[in-house]
Every structure is written in C-alpha cells, then in structure tokens.
Amino acid sequence: MRGLAVLLALAAPALTPGRAAADDDSFPALVGTVDTGLYTTRTIGSQAFIRKVDTVALLGHLRAGLFLSPELSIQSQVTYEPLRTPLRMPHKKHVFADEGLYMEQLYAKVELDDLMVYAGKLDLPLSLAADIGPGLFGADYATDYQLREMMGFGGAVHITPANWGHHRLGFARFFADNSWLDAAAFTQPNFGSIDTARTGRLHLGNGGAANTGSPQSPMVTLDGDASPLGMPALTYHLAWASLRHGVDDTRDQTDLVGALHYEGELGAGFVLRPLIEGARIQHAGGSPGSGGALLPAAQRADYLSSGVELGWNNWSVSVVRAQRMLIEPVNGSGLDGRSSFERLLTGTVGYAFDWGLSVAAGWKHDHSLAPGTTLNADTDSVGLLVNYHQDF
C-alpha cells in the first residue's frame, strides 16, 4: 500500500504550498493544506491465493509551508497511511490495520523568478505518472520507481528562449533517508518482509539502491511545453537518475523516464487530460544481489503507462492502461525467480464538491505475478475513496 498516498493527489493541487499561497505583506506566514481520506478496496475475483481481501484505511496528508519571506520557505509534509500490505494475512479483513505516521518531506526552499533551490528531505520529480496518474489505481505501477523520502539538495532553472516555449532544467544529489526523520510512529514494519510497504526505519546496513548515507546519487530532469508547435497545452517530462549502490553486494540502479501530458478545454465545461509515460529501470533495486531499498531484485524493469481523464464541471472519468515487464537475472538471483510481463487496466469515476469533499469509485483488472508463486494471475478489485481537502 506504499502508493496509497498518491490517491490524495486527487484533491490536492500541489505537493507543497508555493509562493502564491503566502501573503506578500505579512511574514512569517504559515500556509498549507490538510487532506483526510477514507479508503476501501475489495478483491472481487482472483486466480491467486488471495481469494478475497477487504481493506479499509484512513489516509492523511498535512502539507505546510512556513514562509520567512516571499522567496524563502520551510516546506513539510506529514503522511498517515497503512505501512504493511494485506499479504501478511491475505484472507482476513484489514480495517484500519498497520497504519503509521511519518515525516515524508521537510526541506528548505528558495524560489526566485527563474531559479529554485532546495535542501532537505523530499519526494523527487522522477515520475510524472506517479504524481498525476488519473484515478484510484492509475499510478499503481508508476509508484514502483517513484523517488520518495530522499535526502539531499537540488534546484531548477527556467529556460525561455525566444519563440521556443517554456522549459525547466532540474538537478539533484540525494540518498535514501536513513536518519531519525525516517522513523514511523504506531507501526514499524521490518526491512525486507514480504508485507512491508514502507520500512519503519531504514538503516545504512540494509543496503540497496540509493542507501549510501550521503548524497552520492545524481538526477537530472527537463520539463517544458510544445509552444513552438503551436500546442502550449502539451507538456513533456524527461528524467535520468543514477541510484548509487549501498554497502551490500549490489549495483548502481539507472532510471530513465519520459512522459507527455496534455490538458485542453473542449468547450461546454469539458476538459481532456491524456498522459503517457515510459520508464526503464536498469539493475532495478541494485540487482544482481539480494534486493534493495526501492525495488525487488530484477535485472531490468520496463514500464509503460497511458491514460486519459475527461473532466466536466465537478465530474471526472478516467481510464488507465499500464504494463510492467520484469527481466530477471539469468543466474536466478532475482527475487521472483523468473521474468514476468504484467498488465493493468483501470477506470475511475469521481465527483468533487465545491466545499472540499470529493468521492471517487474505481475498478482495476491486474494481471501480475501471484505472491509466493511463479505464475501470473488475474485479479479484479474495486475501490472507493472519500476525501476532504482544507486549505489554511
């Protein structure tokens, strides 16, 4: 359930408060958002050993920005969500089970007109689909390679050449957070357990990709629009990252991501938002070896996610098709023991009230490797999210 936090992005317009949220005439200023969600899923059919899973969970995000000036701020995000998956007890109901509280982001940021720099603990913008993938389950695969809770520094510069649109070049140096900020309250899953969605506390000795104890891993991103082609509503995202290996016998993981996103008005209140993203993760999780902090030990992982959301006034309808190919090491050192090709099809209908409450219902068909086996299995699930969003 590590990706459940992404669901609250349905109601939250930004990960952290920006400059526009602060009053330019009164400092220091504290602004932010609170999201509280009730999330439930049910497995309605499966060929895997998980015949029926009922889950009810409370989700929460507190995002706050303390602005010391219009340019300088301290950004933070506290997250509450389940930290274990139902794999530990697959045939029982999971009602508010294994939920935990942790500091997801805490960093300082300086934001000027064409330059932004930051330092601290934060989620890095490697994947666009993981952040804005539509629907309840649309980001399920993309969250595999999302870089959350990284410690480091970086920045971005805006590039606006004449008649060539708007572009932003970003950079970062980082490592997986293993400081006291990584500790979770209420639930502390063990590193490496099959049901661990988020480790209660990561240690340097756990090893794995990016778990180096110092900012040794680089990342470069490039974002922009297609104004030169007469389509300013079409934007692109390119990212490269090299996750240096930890103290164990693993290799550096290389991430390559490319995405296109469009948001255009169709008239009569309709808005169309298609998205497509591809990713290649070489030496995923640091393989060959015993696994890593971010992904299971697969020699290579290839992803392709495509989806579209149609909005009309307060309503939204979305469909996502995604695939994941895990290429295991030929020597059998991978976690699953064989390569696999997995597919996801999902749809969601949502409605957002003007006073902060939103409701979304979704369905997904997942053809993926069954836990504890070497076979792919088809699983159908439905879900419901009721979320309340409040600014302060």
Mean pLDDT of 54-69: 94
Higher pLDDT, 17 or 389: 389
The candidate with the shortest Cα–Cα distance to 106, out of 147, 80, 75, is 75
Give yes or no for residue 236 having a pLDDT over 70.
yes
pLDDT at 223: 95
Reduce the DSSP state of residue 206 to 3 states and report it: helix
How many CA atoms does the CB half-sphere of 342 hold within 13 Å? 26
| The token pair that represents 177 in the structure block | 């957070």
pLDDT at 93: 74
User: Does some domain include residue 334?
Assistant: yes
Specify whether the CB–CB gap between 98 and 58 falls below 8 A. Answer: no
CATH number at residue 202: 2.40.160
User: Does some domain include residue 6?
Assistant: no
Give yes or no for residue 6 having a pLDDT over 50.
no
Using one digit for the tens of pLDDT, what is the confidence trace for 126-146? 999 999 999 999 999 999 999
Number of domains in the chain: 1
Note the pTM of the prediction, 2 decimals: 0.86
With tokens 């996750």, the residue in question is 243
Give the single-character DSSP code of 67: E
Range of the domain at 129: 108-391
Specify whether the CB–CB gap between 294 and 210 falls below 8 A. Answer: yes
Rounded distance between C-alpha atoms, residue 40 and residue 389, angstroms: 18
User: Does some domain include residue 112?
Assistant: yes
* CA distances for 60 relative to 79, 133, 262, 361, angstroms: 6, 19, 29, 18
pLDDT-above-70 percentage for the chain: 82
Q: What per-residue string of b and e applies to 54-76 under the rule 16 or more CB within 10 Å gives b? A: ebbbebbbbbbbbbeebeebbbb
User: Does some domain include residue 65?
Assistant: no
User: Does some domain include residue 99?
Assistant: no
Q: What is the residue type of 255?
A: D
Mean pLDDT of 94-111: 92
Those residues with Cβ within 8 angstroms of residue 350's Cβ, 6 or more apart along the chain or in another chain: 10, 135, 315, 316, 317, 318, 358, 359, 360, 361
The candidate with the shortest Cα–Cα distance to 390, out of 7, 32, 28, is 32
Using one digit for the tens of pLDDT, what is the confidence trace for 34-49? 999 999 999 887 766 5
Mean pLDDT of 193-211: 80
Burial of 97 (0-12, 13-18, 19+ CB in 10 A): middle
Give yes or no for residue 283 having a pLDDT over 70.
yes
pLDDT at 24: 58
The mean of the pLDDT values for the chain is: 84
User: Does some domain include residue 174?
Assistant: yes
pLDDT at 32: 96
Specify whether the CB–CB gap between 77 and 60 falls below 8 A. Answer: no
pLDDT at 331: 59
CA-based end-to-end distance of the chain: 28
User: Does some domain include residue 201?
Assistant: yes
Backbone angles phi, psi at 297, to 5 degrees: -80, 95
Q: How far is CA 116 from the centre of its chain?
A: 22
pLDDT-derived band of residue 288, with 50, 70 and 90 as boundaries?
low
Rounded distance between C-alpha atoms, residue 379 and residue 392, angstroms: 41
pLDDT at 5: 40
Give yes or no for residue 338 having a pLDDT over 70.
no
User: Does some domain include residue 186?
Assistant: yes
